[in-house]
Copies of this chain bind each other. A is one copy, B any other.
Amino acid sequence: MPDLTVTNVRPFNGTATDIHIRDGIVVDAPGANATVVDGLGAIALPAFVDAHMHLDKTLWGLPWRAHSAGKRLDEKIANERAARQELGADVEIQAARLIDQAIKNGTAAIRSHVDIDPDIGLANVESLLRVKSAYADVVDIQLVAFPQTGLVSRPGTSDLMHAAIEMGVDLVGGIDPQAIDGDADAHVRTIFDLAERTGAGIDIHHHEEGDAGADTLDLILDAVEAYAMQGCVTLSHAFCIGMVSEARMQSILDRIATLDVAIITTAPGYKAFPPVQAMREREIRVASGSDGVRDVWTPFGNADMLERAMLLAYRSNFRRDDEIEMVLDICTYGGGEVMDLEDHGPFPGQRADIVLIEAENAAEAVVNRPSGRRLIKNGALIG
């Protein structure tokens, strides 16, 4: 790969400079035969990390489909199967469409859940593994084996998840151990056993609300400790943290910090979520993601992590530049930490996963979310 020099760019809010890249890493000095790209005065930020997607569910690029699901989670799960069969959407094509959209928005890394159950089997796993391989040069993809319809309540699912990990899926997933599966202990034990056997990390969807949700969360944290999986577990959503008493919230966050559990929040519009500022003060690893994009769960979403940063700020009453830069950090570096990626960004020594944005500064980019963006991945200009 030839060296690359990007002229006239401003790392974050810095003054205009040239960025030199060799072997995919930002370096101090220009290469002799470097390809030169004019940065046109854009700001240069670390490329976005979308740490929670469902690449196998999206209907992106298909004709509009009127939303048909009820408000409850079980209605949404039941609706999905019926709707996707009716649509006959091709998982590989759909995933590719959404990844292309994410890249256009400046995303260089994605963690996606992939549905596994006795009906689907490993079909979606096979599809997303092929997509991951096809996109290996332009986007880092991590996959999570996701028991969408239940784990211990759906016999055969844990074996399929084991097989998925052996096929190359990166993490063991879970969902609402008590509310979906009806047996929190067995659900949690199954997940952690599988992680222990395979050496994979864990990323659990946790939608259970209020104190009951926090009780389940305590069980998960107990398991992190019992299995010594500090630093290897992510909780996605974890709405309950924003719903319990202040005292219980503080105590949960302290424990999450101690156990080095990561939190992914998508800044939901209509329910509480873990408090961003309080997590950051404890140096908890926090990432964000698009969640479902234009699928049978929601018609919303656009795979734009700059819009996600805006929503995180909007839902958190963040207005100061340092607060807005915090959500941007969550959508870039934070995602990198949760996905355990090599440090990336526009500064010397970092992997050259960089997004160029025509903006005045980092905060203004979040506020204005301009469409003029270019992604540099591993030191190569994409698209």
Using a CB–CB cutoff of 8 Å, the interface residues on chain A facing chain B are 63-64, 66-69, 71, 269-270, 294, 298-300, 302, 310-311, 313-317, 319-321, 324, 360-361, 363-364, 367-368, 371
- Given A310-B300, A314-B311, A360 contacting B64 (CB threshold 8 A): yes
CA separation between A320 and B71, bound complex, in Å? 10
Q: List 17 A-B contacts (CB under 8 A).
A: A63-B360, A64-B360, A64-B361, A64-B363, A64-B364, A66-B320, A68-B320, A69-B319, A71-B317, A269-B311, A269-B313, A269-B314, A269-B317, A270-B315, A299-B319, A299-B364, A300-B367
CA separation between A300 and B320, bound complex, in Å? 10
CA separation between A320 and B70, bound complex, in Å? 9
Min CB distance A83 to B, Å, is 13
Verify A315–B66 contact, CB threshold 8 A: no
CA separation between A367 and B63, bound complex, in Å? 13
Verify A270–B67 contact, CB threshold 8 A: no
Verify A67–B269 contact, CB threshold 8 A: no
CA separation between A314 and B360, bound complex, in Å? 28
Verify B368–A302 contact, CB threshold 8 A: yes
Chain B residues, Cβ within 8 Å of A68 = 320
Min CB distance A348 to B, Å, is 26
Chain B residues, Cβ within 8 Å of A316 = 269-270
Verify B302–A319 contact, CB threshold 8 A: no
Contact among B270, B363, B364 for A314, CB-based, below 8 A: B270
The 6 closest A-B pairs by CB, nearest first: A269-B314, A270-B317, A67-B319, A64-B360, A269-B315, A66-B321
- Given A299-B367, A310-B300, A311-B314, A320 contacting B67 (CB threshold 8 A): yes
Residue of B nearest to A315 (CB): B269
Residue of B nearest to A359 (CB): B64
CA separation between A300 and B310, bound complex, in Å? 9
- Given A314-B311, A317-B71, A364-B64, A299 contacting B270 (CB threshold 8 A): no
CA separation between A310 and B320, bound complex, in Å? 23
Q: Kindly list 6 other residue pairs between chains A and B, CB separation below 8 angstroms, not including A64-B361, A270-B317, A300-B367.
A: A64-B360, A269-B315, A269-B316, A299-B363, A300-B310, A311-B314
Chain B residues, Cβ within 8 Å of A324 = 299
Chain B residues, Cβ within 8 Å of A269 = 311, 313-317
Chain B residues, Cβ within 8 Å of A66 = 320-321, 363
CA separation between A321 and B314, bound complex, in Å? 24
Chain B residues, Cβ within 8 Å of A367 = 294, 299-300, 302
Verify B67–A321 contact, CB threshold 8 A: yes
CA separation between A361 and B64, bound complex, in Å? 8
Chain B residues, Cβ within 8 Å of A313 = 269, 300
Chain B residues, Cβ within 8 Å of A69 = 319
Min CB distance A76 to B, Å, is 10
Min CB distance A314 to B, Å, is 4
Chain B residues, Cβ within 8 Å of A363 = 64, 66, 299
Chain B residues, Cβ within 8 Å of A67 = 319-321
CA separation between A371 and B71, bound complex, in Å? 31
Chain B residues, Cβ within 8 Å of A321 = 66-67, 299
Chain B residues, Cβ within 8 Å of A299 = 319, 321, 324, 363-364, 367
